[in-house]
């Protein structure tokens, strides 16, 4: 997928979010201020993250045999890039790309939501600071929103491509189907 | 309703247990019932002020709809605080998720408002100097994730209705329009 499409997906997701809940430039200043302590959490964050995923049958199934070290490396990279920045359009486009990869690897949004909570909770447990709490909350809400939106967009785009039906029409069809489900 | 319950269960099972709502979360909410209920007007006001101040979310609402929507939030808050947060509660949440799909509420909008509620509880708990402020905030955080997860039935619905279920009929009916 083109970089511009990913940027557009991220832009749309952020635009849908209430301003209060979005990640702000000053939030990244807070992350930078606590950079060393946040980066010192990397090992524990990565271990807890994948221990949790490998301990749950639904999420363990996502992984191939022997894949864990490679996946750990991607989380290390994500955390480092997130803390060090820049958290810009390119960064958010990358989060949209994560949503697409999740579709490919059959990682559902409930799985992702659980892990977003886990990261926020771990950071807040170690850095008991209201400033950090606000920044990490808005970070994870924004990342989760983009990943979830990217996931939905990837599904819509692939259905559009295989059936030739426009995304708007697919969404209308889903609404019609859901209305029927609610009536049952 | 049983189909909704089924997909809701499936969604919840996909979350690692460490991240789900726990009995102790429900207990801490129950211990603060009266105080949490006393926050209702402020929560409702803040929630809809936020939605109406933002163009993409304001567009979701019909003219004059706000009082009715405020009432649904009041009902949700009361039911949530009073519990029980059992299977029936989450089946209701699954249904609420689907209502959001029908109304064209996007997931980033829901995620932002889940974050809003969590932040509200945290701020009010700290202001009130509650000894259990942290546990209460975390309980609502977990609850928010669980509620949103049930809201994510929209994806299951998309899969069911567009790929597996009634889609062939819809494809036939709407295909020519799309092509044209």
Whether residue B179 lies within 8 A of chain A, CB to CB, comes out as yes
Give me the residue label for tokens 């295909």.
Answer: B175
Q: A107-144: b or e for each residue (b if 16 or more CB lie within 10 Å)?
A: bbbbbbbbbbbbbbbbbbeebebeebbbbbbbbbbbbb
Residue B162 reports pLDDT greater than 80: no
User: Among A90, A181, A96, A50, which Cα is nearest to B95's?
Assistant: A181
Enter the tokens of residue B127. 């202001």
Q: Which residue of A has its CA nearest to B178?
A: A165
Residue B159: predicted pLDDT: 56
**Contact across the interface for A179 and B102, Cβ inside 8 Å:** yes
Residue B148 reports pLDDT greater than 50: yes
Residue B153 reports pLDDT greater than 70: no
**Contact across the interface for A18 and B116, Cβ inside 8 Å:** yes
Distance from the Cα of B129 to chain A's closest Cα (Å) equals: 14
**Contact across the interface for A110 and B14, Cβ inside 8 Å:** yes
Q: Which of residues 18-77 of B touch A (CB under 8 A)?
A: 18-20, 50-51, 53-54, 56-57
- The residue extents of the domains of chain B are 2-179
**Contact across the interface for B161 and A178, Cβ inside 8 Å:** yes
* Residue of A52, A170, A181 with shortest CB distance to B18: A52
Give me the residue label for tokens 């952020």.
Answer: A14
Averaged over B104-113, what is the pLDDT? 91
Query: A75-79, B36-40, B82-86, B97-101: which range is least confident on average?
Result: B97-101
Would you mind telling me the total number of residues written for chain A in this entry?
184
**Contact across the interface for B108 and A13, Cβ inside 8 Å:** yes
Enter the tokens of residue B84. 């029980």
The span from the first CA to the last CA of chain A, in angstroms, equals 39
Give me the residue label for tokens 């600071």.
Answer: A129
What rounded mean pLDDT belongs to chain B? 83
Averaged over B175-179, what is the pLDDT? 33
DSSP category for residue B19: G
* Residue of B13, B16, B118 with shortest CB distance to A55: B16
Q: Global pTM?
A: 0.88
Enter the tokens of residue B136. 């209460």
Q: Which residue of A has its CA nearest to B96?
A: A182
Would you mind telling me the total number of residues written for chain B in this entry?
180
Residue B160: predicted pLDDT: 54
**Contact across the interface for A141 and B109, Cβ inside 8 Å:** no
Query: pLDDT truncated to tens, each residue of chain A (184 aa)?
Result: 788 999 999 999 999 999 999 999 999 999 999 999 999 999 999 999 999 999 999 899 999 999 999 999 999 999 999 999 999 999 999 999 998 898 888 888 888 888 999 999 999 999 989 899 999 999 999 999 999 999 888 888 888 888 888 888 888 877 887 787 777 6
The CATH number of A3-183 is which of 1.20.120.420, 1.10.490.10, 3.60.15.10, 3.30.1490.20?
Answer: 1.10.490.10
Interatomic CA distance for residues B173 and A90, integer angstroms: 41
| Count of Cβ atoms closer than 10 Å to residue B108 Cβ | 27
**Contact across the interface for A177 and B3, Cβ inside 8 Å:** no
Give chain B's radius of gyration (CA, Å).
18
Return the ∠ at Cα A114 (arms to A63 and B160), rounded to 5°.
75
Q: Which residue of B has its CA nearest to A14?
A: B108
Whether residue A117 lies within 8 A of chain B, CB to CB, comes out as yes
Architecture of domain B2-179: Orthogonal Bundle (1.10)
Residue B156: predicted pLDDT: 57
Interatomic CA distance for residues B100 and B10, integer angstroms: 19
């Amino acid at each position: 997928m083109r970089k511009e499409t990913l940027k557009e997906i991220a832009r749309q997701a952020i635009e849908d979010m209430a301003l209060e809940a979005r990640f702000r430039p000053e939030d990244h200043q807070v992350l930078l201020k606590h950079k060393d302590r946040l980066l010192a959490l990397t090992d524990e964050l990565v271990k807890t993250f994948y221990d949790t995923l490998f301990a749950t049958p639904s999420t363990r199934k996502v992984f191939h045999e022997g894949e864990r070290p490679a996946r750990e490396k991607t989380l290390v990279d994500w955390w480092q890039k997130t803390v060090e920045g820049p958290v810009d359009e390119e960064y958010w486009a990358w989060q949209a790309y994560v949503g697409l990869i999740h579709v490919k690897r059959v990682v559902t949004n409930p799985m992702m939501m659980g892990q977003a909570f886990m990261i926020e909770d771990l950071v807040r447990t170690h850095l008991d600071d209201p400033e950090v709490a606000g920044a990490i909350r808005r970070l994870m809400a924004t990342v989760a929103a983009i990943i979830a939106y990217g996931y939905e967009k990837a599904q819509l785009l692939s259905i559009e491509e295989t059936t030739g039906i426009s995304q708007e029409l697919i969404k209308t069809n889903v609404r019609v189907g859901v209305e029927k489900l609610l009536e049952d | 309703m049983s189909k909704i319950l089924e997909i809701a269960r499936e969604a919840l099972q996909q979350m690692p247990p460490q991240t789900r709502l726990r009995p102790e979360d429900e207990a801490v909410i129950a211990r603060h019932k009266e105080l949490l209920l006393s926050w209702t007007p402020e929560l409702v006001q803040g929630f809809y002020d936020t939605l109406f101040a933002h163009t993409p979310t304001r567009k979701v609402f019909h003219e004059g709809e706000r009082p009715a929507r405020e009432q649904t939030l009041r009902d949700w808050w009361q039911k949530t605080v009073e519990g029980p947060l059992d299977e029936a509660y989450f089946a209701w949440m699954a249904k609420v998720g689907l209502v959001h799909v029908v109304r064209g509420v996007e997931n980033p909008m829901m995620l932002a408002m889940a974050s809003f509620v969590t932040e509200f509880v945290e701020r009010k708990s700290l202001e009130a100097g509650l000894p259990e402020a942290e546990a209460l905030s975390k309980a609502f955080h977990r609850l928010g994730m669980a509620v949103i997860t049930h809201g994510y039935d929209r994806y299951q619905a998309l899969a069911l209705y567009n790929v597996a279920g009634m889609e062939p009929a819809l494809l036939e009916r709407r295909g020519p329009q799309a092509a044209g």
